Chain A
Amino acid sequence: MIAAQGREKLLEVKNLKKYFNVGHKEVLKAVDDVSFTIYKGETLGLVGESGCGKSTTGRTIIDLYGATGGQVLYSGKEVHGVKEKSKKKELTRKMQMIFQDPYASLNPRMTVKDIIAEGIDIHGLAKNSKERQARVFELLETVGLNRDHASRYPHEFSGGQRQRIGIARALAVDPDFIIADEPISALDVSIQAQVVNLLQNLQKERGLTYLFIAHDLSMVKHISDRVGVMYLGNMVELSESDELYDEPLHPYTQALLSAIPVPDPNVERSRERIILEGDVPSPIDPPSGCRFRTRCPMAMDVCAQVTPKWQEAKEGHWVACHLHDDEYKHG
């Protein structure tokens, strides 16, 4: 694996916050002070359980949700709050998104051709209708569909094929960076592998950078160079994917990894699991200090009082846990 140092930063997320008002003056802190960097050409995986803020992070980065605080820099330039239309357009062309549900993310009243070409039209990337059509055909073939599909409607396709259309739409404007928000969780196992292979091949061919959001840890490990783990709106650990899976530092990451059932009966029989007690607390009123402490098997007194710092425990391995903070290490 290539060391993170000396590589070009494509996206920098600094102290990103996204709060939702949920009435009665209550605030849901979906993403609270998350910072990370995505390097050019890599795949950063983002995992966590439902409600941990991983999708909100993705959507806030691309400005689908206005951020409550923090900064997102794309190639050093601010993404949020860009007023000037031409600059905004330039940014949205470079950053694209693939959504989770291939049934809900395609307009049922548009033909595949028009769905894919929408971005091309908006950004004026085709000079005439002939060129537009040629682009669409080329894109369809890139994602493993054929040109006959162009004039059909989404309902004529299976889930896996629709997800391919979603990918073609994202590719249409020649982006550098793609946020894939659970792109395979609605698909069957054998189809998941097809879509993941497609995404990896496209990355190789076009030098794309991915933010891959998913809850399936084994798939995330497969596709990602580095993986970040989120819990209740916070990033708790981030490192290269092999290292994260071989030597997880945060107790939550350890529990999460040990909870995945492995498709191997012998391993399952002999395995010792860390089974977490209880459920994820409400993000409206999260626990003080470390948010994981209420379920953490190793919680100390300090965890309730002090929020753990997000720091580099080893080179390229970030963690937010008092167990790995020199100041509190020994209880």
Chain B
Amino acid sequence: MDKLLEIKDLHVSFDTYGGEVKAVRGVNLDVKKGETLAIVGESGSGKSVTSKAVMGLIPNPPGRIKQGEILFNGKDLTKLSDRKMQGVRGKDISMIFQDPMTSLNPTMTVGKQIMEGLIKHQKLSRSEARERTVKLLDLVGIPNPDKRVKQYPHQFSGGMRQRVVIAIALACNPMLLIADEPTTALDVTIQAQILDLMRDLQKQMSTSIILITHDLGVVANLAHRVAVMYGGKIIETGTVDEVFYKPKHPYTWGLLSSMPKLHGKSEELLAIPGSPPDLSNPPKGCPFAPRCPHAMQVCIEHMPDYTELTDTQKSACWLLDERAPKVEPPETIGVGGSK
């Protein structure tokens, strides 16, 4: 498959009163055409910042892309002028935000907000745009679309608003869709509806999706590949099966173990002790070392390189070094669900 997006050695920092916060510290990623890549991690791991960098939405100041390239179809997005970036954003790459309550403009009708992009990017006339808007609302499963276009966001429920946000994102048939926690603010039954919708739409339009989430259930449901982020770095990446069934990084083990299982009863959850690192003063070695039950001296001093386990799976951990002791993953990672 062709690479649609390639992120090379991306560093993003924020200058704050407390000093420089290194939110993203050397991320390498690629997204192929038509696939869903999930970026998982806890708050502050740099997953949202990475995606915002792709969208050119890092506020400057305080934020800046210190280093690295973001190649989209071969052209470097970090080098584009603001004006040129506006031609990409919303047209080739678009975004679904987390909170449908705040990502829509309350003073504009829903129809107008969807038409905005169509008129600007696709140079459609008003009437054409309106027609397409009604079709889009129908596509995302909003009943009575011809009536609903004239309504305001407050007249929609949470789930319906998220459908509108998806319609806006899909308006110009983007090649890449970034979904930043698209279902976190929604209830489970509504989440199931939206995940279903996203999967159907991807099949129909063969859009690539970057899915940012902390919910491993959503990842298992939607993603083809997974990148696990911690402390501003990707510590493990692979296909969804590799990461869930054969994880190699202790952080991935911890993440999978700390989820309660729906079937069968476990006595105690395997919690990861401690809390994530402070990125204004990032650790020299592996960011997970202070919380890692298998940490060695070398982990504290040097960041490990990636070990290529298969064509698709890479993991950055000293345990994979041939000199390291053999450590078996805990039994508790036995992924949930299966009866």
- Chain A: residues with CB nearer than 8 A to chain B? 49-50, 158, 160-161, 188-194, 196-197, 200, 215, 217-219, 221-222, 242, 245, 255-268, 273, 275-276, 279-280
Contact = CB atoms under 8 A, between A and B. Distances in A.
The list of the 10 closest CB pairs from A to B, nearest first, reads A261-B217, A262-B337, A222-B260, A193-B258, A193-B271, A263-B216, A49-B187, A264-B337, A259-B192, A190-B272
B300 interface: no
A27 B300 CA distance: 60
Contacts of B215: 261
A50 B187 contact: yes
B218 interface: yes
B338 interface: yes
B335 A263 contact: yes
Interface string B255-295: 11111111101101111110110000000000000000000
A188 B160 contact: no
Nearest to B157: A279
A193 B188 contact: no
Q: Is the interface of A mostly helix, strand, loop or mixed?
A: helix
A218 B336 contact: yes
B174 interface: no
Contact of B189 (A161, A189, A218, A255): A255
A267 B193 contact: no
B338 A267 contact: yes
Interface of B: 42-43, 157-160, 187-193, 195-196, 214-221, 240-241, 244-245, 254-263, 265-266, 268-273, 275-276, 335-338
A273 B265 CA distance: 23
Contacts of A280: 157, 187
A196 B268 CA distance: 9
Contacts of B261: 218, 222
A158 B265 CA distance: 30
Contacts of A222: 260-261, 265-266, 269
A264 B244 contact: yes
The residue in B245, B258, B265 that gathers the most chain A C-beta atoms within 10 A of its C-beta is B258
Contact of B220 (A218, A263, A273, A279): A263
A46 to B, nearest CB: 15
B40 to A, nearest CB: 9
Contact of A266 (B193, B255, B338): B338
B271 A262 contact: no
B270 A273 contact: no
B191 A259 contact: yes
B79 to A, nearest CB: 35
A222 B159 CA distance: 28
Contact of A267 (B42, B214, B255, B337): B337
A196 B257 CA distance: 13
A194 B273 contact: yes
Nearest to A257: B262
Given A49-B190, A189-B255, A258-B192, 13 more contacts: A49-B189, A193-B257, A194-B272, A196-B271, A197-B269, A221-B260, A261-B192, A261-B221, A262-B262, A265-B244, A266-B338, A275-B189, A279-B160
The residue in B157, B192, B261 that gathers the most chain A C-beta atoms within 10 A of its C-beta is B192
Contact of A260 (B217, B272, B273): B217
Contact of B240 (A245, A259, A260, A265): A265
B220 A267 contact: yes
Contact of B188 (A49, A189, A196): A49
Given A189-B258, A263-B256, A266-B338, A242 B265 contact: yes
A156 to B, nearest CB: 12
A105 B157 CA distance: 28
A186 to B, nearest CB: 10
The residue in B219, B270, B276, B337 that gathers the most chain A C-beta atoms within 10 A of its C-beta is B337
A29 B3 CA distance: 54
A219 B260 CA distance: 6
B153 to A, nearest CB: 15
A273 B196 contact: yes
B192 A264 contact: no
Contact of B190 (A188, A219, A258, A279): A279
A53 B64 CA distance: 45
11 contacts: A49-B187, A50-B187, A188-B214, A189-B216, A191-B271, A222-B261, A222-B265, A257-B262, A263-B220, A264-B335, A265-B245
A263 B219 contact: yes
B188 A217 contact: yes
Nearest to B143: A278
B268 to A, nearest CB: 6
Contacts of A266: 241, 338
A197 B257 CA distance: 13
B259 A263 contact: yes
Contacts of A49: 187-190
A264 B220 contact: yes
A255 B188 CA distance: 10
B252 to A, nearest CB: 11
Given A158-B275, A197-B268, A262 B187 contact: no
Contacts of B275: 158, 160-161, 191
A158 to B, nearest CB: 5
B187 to A, nearest CB: 4
A247 B268 CA distance: 24
Nearest to A186: B43
Contacts of A190: 42, 254-255, 258, 271-272
Nearest to B273: A194
A256 B221 contact: no
Contacts of A264: 220, 244, 335-338
